[in-house]
Amino acid sequence: MGIIRAEERVICYGHPNVRAEHKSTFEITCEENLSVKGTCIIGVSADKGAAGLSDIFRKTLCNDGAVLKTRLSVGNMTHTILSDGSGAFTLSHPTDLVWRRSTFVCPRTIGIYSDTVANKIPDGIISLLKDGAEMIVDLEVSFNPEVQSPSVLLPEGFFHTVEGCRCPSHKE
């Protein structure tokens, strides 16, 4: 069958209240306003949330072993983030997209084990976003159904019992 790939583009904008201080997530939302309490939100007025992603993109990302590459482009600056997909994703939230360092999943989650969170996005990008700049968010997901998910099955006999064992740690 081979590798399945799908792409999406989300357009959003910065806001004067972008703080990018969160240590475990970052978020893009369709909402227009942003309070100073939204320390993970880096983009507002997005043209789509999780539920607005194409069916092929959602189906590909909702697999254990899927890999999501996100490229944030603001002005002449770009930053790339790698995350994992998950079979637990629902991608059903109408307004939000959230990338997480953890494995927590809710309807807004688009990526887990993300290698970048809000407080690690380059300062130059954040500065432009604080000025209200447009941000293009390119999403590329790939999934190879022929490769086992990260939860690797161990070969039979990998773990052995003490009974009948002759290894040094189990000698009586």
- Mean pLDDT, the chain, whole residue set: 89
pLDDT in tens, 117-150: 999 999 999 999 999 999 999 999 999 988 765 5
What confidence score (pLDDT) does residue 154 get? 40
Q: What are the E-state strand segments in 31-95? A: 41-43, 67-74, 77-84
- Give 4's contacts (C-beta < 8 A, 6+ positions apart): 60, 142, 143, 144, 145
Domains of the chain by start residue, with CATH: 4-147 (2.60.120.630)
pTM score of the predicted model: 0.84
